Amino acid sequence: MNPPDHPSDGSAGDANYALIGASFTTYRQPEPAIETLIHQALGDAERILNLGAGAGSYEPRDRKVTPVEPSATMRAQRPADLAPAINAAAESLPFPDHHFDAAMTTFSVHQWTNLTAGLREMRRVTTGPLIILTCDPILVQNFWLNDYAPEVLATEARRYPALPHIAQILGGTTRVLPVPIPLHCRDGFNEAYYGRPEMLLSPTARSACSAWSFVDEATSDHYVSSLREALETGAWDRRHGHLRTEPHYDGSLRLLISLR
């Protein structure tokens, strides 16, 4: 399915946040365990750029953060105690060279129109580490949701750029860290519900996961019906029920730390 059209919201990537962004802050809260990893990776950087900043998840509140977010829907949901986001896109940043100590972006690079231009801009304006929270496309379809909503995860796998490709564009040295997902993860991406499958029966929870917006309504309804039936009959629990008590899930979530 083709990406949805973008109205006046200004969404610059392949997802239309005027349609899917309304419930974002309800279901996509920062997860403390992930937040700790990101803040540790930022080191002692004081001036930080946050690209695709959205509603401000994972922004450190004890440093000077400059957020960039092209979607008006997402900019409007930023808490009052965070800096207002600048309306710009990653591919053309309105900052001079070496302006920031570090830069970060979370669940964003797969939506950029031009990945190479965005990453090079990110590097151009930053002297220190670049922190990228993303998913490894090779691992995305290993998740149990692939049994019930295969095109949703196929869409995810197509959208996420290969990690070696990101590292090649950035140059320098890039470390890739696996990010364990806690059972009650507050950030509601698809894998966050690994042990709480009932959450994906909620249309608002699904709408906060952008890949669902690329599947037509009839297909989505069929996928949800299949999952609901598997839960009602106990088929899901017979296959995956052990996940309900697993404290962490090692899925496709990765943190890239790139140095010059």
pLDDT higher than 70, residue 85:
yes
Tell me how far CA of residue 14 lies from CA of 47, 187, 232, in angstroms. 29, 21, 35
| Higher pLDDT pick, 162 / 6 | 162
Query: May I ask the CATH architecture of the domain 17-142+155-192+248-259?
Result: 3-Layer(aba) Sandwich (3.40)
Percent of the chain with pLDDT over 90: 85
More confident residue, 20 or 77: 77
User: Which tokens sit at 199?
Assistant: 């959450």
User: What tokens does 179 get?
Assistant: 């990010």
State residue 123's pLDDT score. 97
Angle (CA) 92 95 100, round 5°: 120
Rounded CA separation 23/37 (Å): 25
Looking only at the bridges linking them, the beta strands covering 47-51 and 64-68 are: parallel
pLDDT tens track for 180-220: 999 999 999 999 999 999 999 999 999 999 899 999 999 99
For range 102-111, the mean pLDDT: 96
For the chain, give me the number of helices (H) and strands (E)?
10, 8
Mean pLDDT taken over the chain: 92
Residue 55 pairs in a beta bridge with: none
- Write out pLDDT tens, residues 133-149: 999 999 999 999 999 99
For residues 101 and 61, what is the distance between their CA atoms, to the nearest angstrom?
Answer: 16
3 pLDDT exceeds 50? no
Please state the domain extents for the chain.
17-142+155-192+248-259
> In DSSP terms, which residues pair with 105 in a beta bridge?
51, 132
pLDDT category at 16 given cuts 50, 70, 90 is low
* Rounded Cα–Cα distance for residues 162 and 149 (Å): 22
Dihedrals phi, psi of 72, to nearest 5 degrees: -65, -35
In the structure, what pLDDT confidence band is assigned to residue 2 with cuts at 50, 70 and 90?
Answer: very low
Question: Rounded to an integer, what is the distance from CA 171 to the centroid of its chain?
Answer: 23
What's the pLDDT score for residue 22? 59
